[in-house]
């Protein structure tokens, strides 16, 4: 299948998230317009995305939620699970760890790294914390292909460079520092200050 646009991948992930909660609530079928309204988008957008991944319901009773979840998984998940590590087990690292662990069967959180001796060698928020100096060994040994970066800003660049050198193929950067990676590595950055400033901007504009 042709590589999907990033936006579509995001929406597919979101579809699956809400579909999984619907399953747990006992729902079996869903119409495009229902799914759309849950995501604040249009029904056409939903149908278009599903067309892109070649899913078609056949019946006119909406989509079979289980089949749809499975189809989305076949498209966006890796066939063999990918291993993930968190670097920097501070406030955010621990929050992410306890939240993310076990959420997706095709993404295994297998390690965390820190340079604080109080933390290394222990299991923190459900995952073993290694000394950051062991990063090279462990990335190779555990075949870690994705890192979530939550170290202090001053260490972000060097830590990322190291991880890439050791073979990591994807980086989710939560630090405030904008990073650089070679084109063979996929980088996604998120800064919550940007999100809240965006909210603030539209609030400001609406109450003017």
Partner DNA sequence: TAAACACTGTTATTTTATTAACAATATTTA
Partner DNA sequence: TAAATATTGTTAATAAAATAACAGTGTTTA
The binding site for a second copy (CB under 8 A) comprises 3-4, 6, 9-10, 13-14, 17-18, 21, 38-40, 76-79, 82, 84, 90-92, 94-96, 98-100, 103-104, 106-107, 125, 145-146, 148, 153, 169-172, 176-178, 184, 186-188, 190-207
- Contact assessment for residue 151 and residue 175, using Cβ atoms and an 8 Å cutoff: yes
> Which of a second copy, DNA, ligand NAD, none binds 103 (CB below 5-8 Å, type-dependent)?
a second copy
Nearer to ligand NAD, 46 or 87 (CB): 87
**Rounded CA separation 143/104 (Å):** 18
Q: Does 164 bind ligand NAD (CB under 6 A)?
A: no
> Which of ligand NAD, DNA, a second copy, none binds 159 (CB below 5-8 Å, type-dependent)?
ligand NAD
Smallest gap from Cβ 54 to DNA, in A, equals 8
**Rounded CA separation 18/169 (Å):** 28
Q: Does 125 bind ligand NAD (CB under 6 A)?
A: no
Q: What DSSP designation does 57 have? A: -
Q: Does 18 bind DNA (CB under 7 A)?
A: no
**Rounded CA separation 98/130 (Å):** 17
Nearer to a second copy, 122 or 133 (CB): 122
Beta bridge partners of 64: 29
For ligand NAD (CB under 6 A), the number of binding residues is 26
Buried b (16+ CB within 10 A) or exposed e, 85-114: bbbbbeebbbebbeebbeebeebbbbbbbb
Q: Does 54 bind ligand NAD (CB under 6 A)?
A: no
Residues 44-83 that bind DNA (CB under 7 A): 44-45, 47-48, 50-51, 55-63
**Rounded CA separation 111/156 (Å):** 18
**Rounded CA separation 116/124 (Å):** 12
The Cβ-side half-sphere exposure at 191, using a 13 Å CA radius, reads 10
Residues in contact with DNA by the rule CB under 7 A: 5-8, 31-33, 41-45, 47-48, 50-51, 55-63
């Amino acid at each position: 299948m042709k590589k999907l646009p990033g936006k579509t991948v995001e929406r597919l992930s979101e579809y699956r998230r809400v579909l999984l909660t619907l399953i747990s609530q006992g729902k079996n079928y869903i119409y495009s317009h229902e799914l759309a309204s849950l995501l604040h988008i249009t029904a056409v957008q939903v149908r278009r995305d599903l067309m892109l991944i070649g899913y078609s319901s056949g019946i006119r009773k909406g989509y079979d939620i289980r089949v749809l979840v499975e189809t989305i998984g076949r498209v966006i998940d890796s066939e063999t699970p990918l291993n993930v590590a968190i670097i920097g087990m501070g406030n955010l690292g621990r929050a992410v760890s306890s939240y993310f662990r076990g959420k997706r069967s095709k993404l295994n959180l297998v390690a965390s790294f820190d340079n604080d001796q109080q933390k290394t060698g222990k299991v923190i928020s459900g995952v073993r914390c290694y000394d950051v100096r062991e990063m090279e060994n462990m990335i190779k040994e555990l075949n870690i292909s994705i890192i979530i970066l939550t170290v202090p800003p001053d260490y972000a660049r060097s830590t990322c460079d190291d991880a890439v050198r050791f073979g990591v193929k994807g980086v989710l950067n939560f630090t405030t520092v904008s990073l650089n990676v070679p084109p063979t590595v996929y980088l996604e950055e998120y800064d919550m200050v940007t999100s809240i400033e965006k909210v603030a901007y539209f609030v400001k504009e609406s109450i003017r």
